[in-house]
Amino acid sequence: MKKEQQMKKEQHNKKEPQAKNVQHSKKGLQNNTQHKKDPQSKGQYKKGQQPNRGQQTAKLELKQTFPLTIKRLGINGEGVGYFKRQVVFVPGALPGEEIVAEATKVHPKFAEAKIKKIRKQSEHRIKPLCPVFDQCGGCQLQHLGYDQQLNEKRDIVIQALERHTKLKIDELDIRPTIGMENPWGYRNKSQFQVGEKDGKVLAGLYGLNSHNLINIEQCAVQHPSTTKATEVVKGILQDLKIPIYNEKKHKGLVRTIVARTGVQTGELQIVLITTKKELPKKDIIIQEIKKRLPEVNSIVQNINGEKTSVIFGSETATLEGSDFIQETLGDLQFELSARTFFQLNPEQTVKLYNEAKAAARLTGKEKLVDAYCGVGTIGLWMADEAGEVRGMDVIPESIEDAKKNADKHGVKHAKFYLGKAEELLPKWLKEGWRPDVIVVDPPRTGCDEEFLKTVLKIKPKTFVYVSCNPSTLAKDIMTLGSQYKVEYIQPVDMFPHTSQIESVTRLELK
């Protein structure tokens, strides 16, 4: 994966809830969108709880305090309650709690509030491990016991199905969430913004709903080696008095420190994202990084001079060492360059891919399509039990890397094609090739509408949907519902202590 990969616009906004303030990206590329609330949670009601439109809803006023019982968690991890038939979202509140709330925003269909007082506390409330948990906002659920997090995340999937489908939820097989034995220190990559205050270099993430930089010296969900690396590089910038980027003035040089580790290989990559190519004291910076972090295999500079919240720019240069680091998943090995997309939680990724493989129920004869294939991870993961694998993606670099990965692992019956599934699948059908199984792992926006229409025409016997967004999963299930039935849904917790939830859904042709 030495070649630079180009981002698939915002549609590939996926998979990486940055512990604290993140950027998600998908399939081949950079993880860069800031953590934002999912607007689909607003106005979200469970069946039977939606206000009666024929009855007048009492409108809350700004700063009004009122009693509120929290009924459930919303898809952004906030508590959800109802005050005189008006839905209210309260960050930090937990199901079963009775609180005094203060309205912070009042919208026509819902309100937002903060906790003034907890009258009755949830038995599952715990003390957050992170000292800046309430400031940073990336880990929305550290105050909730982990076993209960798994229960609530399953419920978030159920809520999405209730809102966006007509399925009989009680008759669905929605399985218990698969979690981690040790749900800490799992993130293999950090992207910390750099700033300066009172002459001191800071590195961290912007606070929840603000542009105040929260200095993070320890992050409970980051792999320890990435935290150490960021602190060391921050110290080097401080010692050498390297100009630090000021976001408000749009001046300065170093704007982001990216650290990624190969959890299985122990390799470490440092990326300095700068506003200009010229890096003062570059040789000294490299020497100091090598001296203080001898485990570093790759030192890279990326240039991003734009006034933007996107982290990576288009130009990247290797300053020292390799262009990439190595990482393994199961029996597969991958080369990770600075902007290559790779799952942030390798341990859970193995579980997720194994669930997808189990859902495909391969016998060794099936023709399998890996749509949105990226660098081919899922297709190659399933290849040993499939008769033939064909993957496609619209990013040329991803397809090149997928082909290299197949060659490297000796997988001769897996082929990867540049193009859209909705164009390639009909072409293959005319040539007499019809897939038995289609597996898809789309961005947060879900599957493309034309792709789903194509699936309904091609009619594979099995459709395996790997999802990172319950709302778009539910909508896509509804679209496929005329010809496909849901056999089961298996939630998988890829990002403990956040509100994010992945799932694997097996759909069968009726």
Residues annotated as catalytic are 468
Of 267, 276, 284, residue with least CA distance to 325: 267
Residue 438 to residue 435: CA distance in whole angstroms? 7
Beta strands 462-467 and 437-440 are: parallel
Residue 177 to residue 181: CA distance in whole angstroms? 13
Q: At what angle do helices 421-430 and 449-458 cross, to 10 degrees?
A: 20
Give one DSSP letter per residue of 109-178, joined into a string: SEEEEEEEEEEE--TTB---SSTTHHHH-SSTTTTB-HHHHHHHHHHHHHHHHHHH----GGGS-BPPPB
Our CA angle for 344, 348, 352, nearest 5°, is 110
Of 358, 349, 361, residue with least CA distance to 437: 361
Bridge partners, residue 72, by sequence: 80
Of 299, 312, 321, residue with least CA distance to 340: 312
Residue 440 to residue 443: CA distance in whole angstroms? 10
Of 190, 177, 178, 199, residue with least CA distance to 244: 199
Cα–Cα distances in angstroms (integers) from residue 451 to residues 32, 301, 392, 454, 455, in the given order = 25, 37, 12, 5, 6
Task: Categorise residue 142: left if φ over 0, alpha if ψ from -120 to 50, beta otherwise.
Answer: alpha
Helix (H) or strand (E) holding 408: helix 396-408
Q: Can you point out the beta strands (E) in 7-121? A: 65-73, 79-83, 86-90, 98-106, 110-120
